[in-house]
Amino acid sequence: MRALFLIASMVMSVATAVAQPQETDITAKQLDLGVSLLKAGEGGNRTISPYSIHSALMLLRLGAKGETAAEFDRKLLPASFSPVSQAAYQSMNSAIFASKEGGAAVLGNSLWLRTDYAFTPKYLAASKKVFSAEPYHIDYGKAEDARATINSWVSSKTKDLIPQLLPQGVITAETTCTLVNTLYFKSAWLEPFKKELTKDESFWTDPSSEIQVPMMHRTDEMGYFENSEWRGVHLPYESFDYTFVVIAPNKKMSATELARSLSPSVFSQAMEEQKFERVSLAMPRFKVRQSRELFSQLGSYGLTRLASGDFSGISPKGIGGVGSVMHEAVVAVDENGTEAAAATAVIMFKGAFIRDDSLPKEVRLDRPFAFALIHKPTKAPLFLGVVADPR
């Protein structure tokens, strides 16, 4: 009966909130950007929010002109950021952040504008319409006070999970504006893990190194994916609009090797080629956090005009270029569900499910694995990550 309810609920979710083609074209670009940045990161545990990063860059794109705008469009959009594309983005934002029953994703956007600058009314109106971005005027002459004010706003929007997005020194007296996006998510699993089944078990941080971690267990019907190299499952939340996808390599490998092996197609296949199977899942509790400066990695991705591009659509006065792109994300998973938050700041300076009643498929996440938190109707990648050490 539970399985029938689960299938019916998932079918109803898809039927009532199908993404428009333009939206899924945009989210495909978000996924490509996210995987590229995930692969470019360093260290073991990694996590980012492609949605947050892309949204902050689109706030910047609204003010880009000429070749700068064209470059953004080539790398980050299926076409130009025309009124049609802007309407699609606006619709996507509304769809993702409309669901509150059984779980909630909360979006925040803000513009922190230099007090002695005039900003283009057209830009302020567009950022308000597409992103609901609130403008605030701030005195960058008092750089540390300005940094504290922005950090406080981010902290409040992320339920204190990201209290210090902007490190000391990133805001200066030469800052002209800061564009900020925040994303907060919290939801319980549709079927929680039973805490009495959690026990310490082995986790291989690389093929020759083993640690003991609390491993959660569930055997149930769930979306299952496998190919010659990967296998994984979908864990639905109480709100069916969201799903947590975990994928693990079939052979043990280090987190660095895993990250290098990832591609957008792996996540897309895991979403589109899943089958409804009975699965025996073992997954560690984990909490991963990563703070990164993305400027150089965005340049390598193809946004070469960040520092010296034409962003005159934001202000008729010399608005300058981008000096820093700060991003932080945190994802915590336990027996009850998931809590996650992300924030991105762009700082500018002058100058179908198939039932199979065979034996359960086994998915043991006892080695570095990747995850994605996806808004199913639009396929928007809210969070991506690699877990190298769950401790």
Pairing assessment for the beta strands 356-364 and 275-284 based on DSSP bridges = parallel
Per-residue pLDDT tens for 215-264?
A: 999 998 889 999 889 999 999 998 778 999 999 998 888 888 999 999 99
Q: What is the pLDDT of residues 96-130, one digit of tens each?
A: 877 555 467 899 999 999 998 999 999 999 999 99
- Residue 203 tokens read as 């986790």
DSSP 37: H
Q: Does domain 2-187+288-349 have CATH number 3.30.497.10?
A: yes
Residue type, 142: K
pLDDT tens, 166-215?
Answer: 999 999 999 999 999 999 999 999 999 999 999 999 998 888 888 999 99
Q: How confident is the model at residue 10 (pLDDT cuts 50, 70, 90)?
A: very low
Residue written as token pair 């020759």: 208
Q: What are residue 305's phi and psi, to 5 degrees?
A: -105, 15
Taking the domains of the chain in order of start, what are their residue ranges?
Answer: 2-187+288-349, 190-286+354-387
How confident is the model at residue 20, as a pLDDT?
57
Amino acid letter, 26: I
pTM: 0.90
How far lies 216's CA from each of 4, 196, 237, 244, 292, in Å?
25, 9, 16, 15, 30
Cα 66 to its chain centre, rounded Å, is: 29
* Residue 158: strand, helix, or coil: coil
Q: What is the pLDDT of residue 8?
A: 36
Does position 307 have pLDDT exceeding 90, yes or no?
Answer: yes
Cα 132 to Cα 96: distance, rounded to the nearest angstrom = 14
Q: What's residue 351's pLDDT?
A: 62
The alpha carbon torsion through 168, 173, 177, 182 (nearest 10 deg) reads 10
Please determine whether the domains at 2-187+288-349 and 190-286+354-387 fall in the same fold group of CATH.
no
Query: How distant, in Å, are the alpha carbons of 200, 244, 253 from that of 205?
Result: 15, 22, 8
Q: What distance in Å separates the CA atoms of residue 308 and residue 304, rounded to the nearest whole number?
A: 9
Average pLDDT, rounded, for the chain: 88
Q: Is 45 helix (H, G, I), strand (E, B) or coil?
A: coil
CB-based contact 61:126 (threshold 8 Å): no
Q: How far is CA 182 from the centre of its chain?
A: 10
Query: What integer is the mean pLDDT of 150-164?
Result: 97
The mean per-residue pLDDT over the stretch 358-365 comes to 70
Any residues with CB less than 8 A from the CB of 26 and at least 6 apart, and which? 77, 78, 85, 88, 89, 92
Q: How many CA atoms lie within 13 A of 235 on its CB side?
A: 28
**CATH code 3.40.50.1820 for 190-286+354-387:** no
Q: Which residues of 324-354 are buried (b: 16+ CB within 10 A; e: fewer)?
A: bbbbbbbbbbbbebbbbbbbbbbbbbbeebe
CB neighbour class for 242 (10 Å; exposed up to 12, middle 13-18, buried from 19): buried
Give backbone dihedrals phi and psi of 13, rounded to 5 degrees, phi first. -60, -45
Structure tokens at 31: 């996924």
Residue 359 is predicted with a pLDDT of 61
Q: What are phi and psi of 261, to 5 degrees?
A: -85, -15
Cβ proximity of 13 and 6 under 8 Å? no
* Out of 80-94, 312-326, 349-363, 364-378, least confident range: 349-363
Please answer whether residues 383 and 286 qualify as being in contact, where contact means their C-beta atoms are separated by less than 8 angstroms. Answer: no
pLDDT score, position 139: 96
- DSSP states of 286-351 as a string? EEEEEEEE-HHHHHHHT-TTTTT---TTT-SS---EEEEEEEEEEEEE-SSEEEEEEEEEEEEE--
Give the span between the Cα atoms of 292 and 296, in whole angstroms: 11
Higher-confidence residue of 17 and 349: namely 349
Q: What is the CA radius of gyration of the chain?
A: 21
Do 86 and 26 touch, CB atoms closer than 8 A? no
